Structure 1
Amino acid sequence: MICGVVIWYSRVDFKALIWCEDSGALAFATGPTSWRNPMVEIAVGDCVAFVAEEAGRERKCRDIHLIAAQMAPDLPLSIQQGRGNTPTPPPQLSLCSTGGVAQPAANKGNPLLHLCASRD
């Protein structure tokens, strides 16, 4: 299982783009079959867990499920702002599962993004 933050989501098509905990390639959800339960409400900024499958140069998701809502709602904006002449790095983020509930941690770790979660 990999954890990540949803940075784009289309409810109509059940498609999503997810920034992954390992700061590797972004992951793509490509339809309702990617989701453990497609009826669960997901939003940009939500922390999700999923199984990653390499498909050529892409990383596809399956069995996506919600870990914690709105853990990083400003992450997409931070990423977009980083494209200017003086890049602003995305916020440092660490999500650690505590008693089954993900908690934001102090700003330590990977300067781009670091997610840690207990494994199922």
Structure 2
Amino acid sequence: MFGVVLWSDGQDNKAVIWCEDHGDLAFYRQEENEASVALDAGDWVEFDMSMDHNLRFVHNPRLVAEGVFPELPEALESAAPRKAAASGQAQRGSAEIIPFALARGRRDVQRAEVAQKSAL
């Protein structure tokens, strides 16, 4: 699965990732036997996922591209209060989809980098 890192803690090797299927957020915590990978908010990652007690957990994260979506955490944060304020109350069960749109000008560069990595 692919996703975007919304929050990370480099010291504790933890992260929260928004998944491409727009389902529940996935949580990452580096296991002792995993190789270290530095994740920062806005990074595009590919990973394996498991479920445990209705929570999604990330395993084996692989960095696809750094900082591709730096504005995504703020966009998600600003969208939630606006929707709740407009209705007068928070509505559960409804969703506002915010696409994984690459920043203009960077899209072609990122695609070329991904294609190059895939060819190796």
| TM-score, normalising length: structure 1 | 0.69
Who wins on radius of gyration, i.e. which is larger? 2
Which residues in structure 2 correspond to 1:79-118 (within 5 Å)?
A: 79-84=76-81, 85-86=85-86, 91-94=98-101, 98=111, 101=114
SS at match of 1:71: coil
SS at match of 2:80: coil
Kindly provide the CA deviation profile for residues 53-100 of structure 1, in whole angstroms up to 9, marking residues without a partner as x: 01111000110110011111111101111122249x674225798455
Which residues in structure 2 correspond to 1:37-56 (within 5 Å)?
A: 37-38=35-36, 40-56=37-53
Which residues in structure 2 correspond to 1:1-120 (within 5 Å)?
A: 2-30=1-29, 32-33=30-31, 37-38=35-36, 40-84=37-81, 85-86=85-86, 91-94=98-101, 98=111, 101=114
1:49 positional shift: 0.7
Cα distance between partner residues in 1 of 2:51 and 2:12: 21
Change (3 A) 1:90 1:74: farther
| TM-score, normalising length: structure 2 | 0.69
Name the Cα RMSD after superposition: 2.8
* Counterpart contact for 2:5–2:41, Cα < 8 Å: yes
Instruction: Count how many residue pairs are aligned between Structure 1 and Structure 2.
Output: 99
Higher percent of residues as strand: 1
In structure 1, what is the equivalent of residue 92 of structure 2?
none
Runs of 4+ in 1 over 2 A off after TM superposition: 34-37, 89-92, 94-100
* Counterpart contact for 2:49–2:57, Cα < 8 Å: yes
Report the AA paired with residue 49 of structure 1.
E
Cα distance between partner residues in 2 of 1:83 and 1:28: 20
Query: How much identity, in percent, do the aligned residues show?
Result: 31
1:36 positional shift: 5.1
SS at match of 2:45: strand
